[in-house]
Amino acid sequence: MEVKDFIENENKLKNLYYIYSADNYLRDEFKDKFIDKFVEENIRDFNLSIVQPGEDYFKKLSNAVQTPPLGSKKRFVISQLEAEDSFDKKAQQKLISIIENLDKTTCLLFLSSNSLDKRKKLYLTIKKKGSYFEFKAPKYGNLDKWIVRRFREHNKKIDKRSIKVLENMFSNKLEILATEIEKIITRFPDKEKISYYDIKDLISRERFIEDEEIFAFLDLIGEKKTDKALISLKEMLNKGVYPLYLLTMLANQIELLMQVKYYSQFTKNNKEIAKKINKHPYPVKKALQRSRNFTQLELERILEEILTANYHFLTGYYPEQNTALEMIIIKAINY
């Protein structure tokens, strides 16, 4: 369930909510939509308190929830909450006491990047007093829908190819995705349908060029085209791609190829492999095609060279990194 759906379906306000999400965007989205729906704008100055973790946290939280509402039936308190294991037993008991003695005129909302142990008293107390809910960043088809919905909210459509490009570049990092989508919408205010050709020269241009060229570069290595691979390498380096960044990108791709090649022994279905390795099906599909150019032993040797080079780069063993990178690629192609 998306945050928007949860808020829309929450018609009877509870006295307590504990919202867990590892994704900062989802926590912020919940807070904003919660305030928009339940906290009338004209009472926010007097009846909405934000309590942040830090010194005297429990004292501040206790004072906030004990303060009666002014000119309203409800007072709202929103607090970022740290992991429960970061509190000692005394602190946990203080928190439990605050929750157990929560007045009916107060609505307390906890937002946390940490889930609770469902066997412990804190979780059981929250469930008894209010609502505990977890939101996870969407994946696969749900991420497709999430992107489509963000464009639809601005009366825009986006083609499938553009969706896959966004997912391939930013995965399900919602905060970054939302920023890029906002950038696209701002750039094309009057355009109803956004295409791949619209976003190609817009979204994080430097990264887009690097990723696209790195994927093509990897193909040249797999096809054993030494001359073309070295030309491609020099072009990327001339554009300012750092050798260490390039090594990291290559290492990530080689590791993906190794995983995909292993599971391809059992299935050629990219969606099944994606579930096994917890990746989006789109990059897995591409990796499945590229993996045919390598044996597993070749991939292992290339990765070993890259990791060794990465270590030498960090320790300063290779003073001329560009030349060293060329030698590494030549060795990789000749395996």
Q: Can you list the domains of the chain with their CATH numbers?
A: 3-134 (3.40.50.300), 140-199 (1.10.8.60), 207-333 (1.20.272.10)
- Say which residue the tokens 């099906």 belong to: 281
Pull the structure tokens for residue 282.
């789109």
Task: Tell me which amino acid residue 5 is.
Answer: D
Highest mean predicted confidence (pLDDT) among 30-44, 213-227, 289-303, 306-320: 30-44
Distances (CA, A) of 179 to 118, 139, 170, 186, 251: 35, 18, 11, 11, 27
Q: What pTM value is reported for the model?
A: 0.59
Q: Where are the alpha helices (DSSP H) in the chain?
A: 3-9, 24-38, 44-47, 57-66, 89-100, 121-129, 140-152, 160-170, 174-187, 196-199, 205-222, 226-238, 243-263, 270-277, 281-290, 296-315, 321-333
In this structure, are residues 172 and 141 in contact, taking their beta carbons and an 8 Å threshold?
Answer: no
Q: How confident is the model at residue 316 (pLDDT cuts 50, 70, 90)?
A: low
Distances (CA, A) of 296 to 82, 131, 188, 259, 308: 44, 49, 45, 10, 18
Could you read off the pLDDT of 236-253 as tens digits, one per residue? 877 766 677 677 777 878
Q: What is the DSSP letter of 48?
A: E
Could you read off the pLDDT of 41-98 as tens digits, one per residue? 999 999 999 988 777 888 899 999 999 999 889 999 999 886 655 567 788 888 899 9
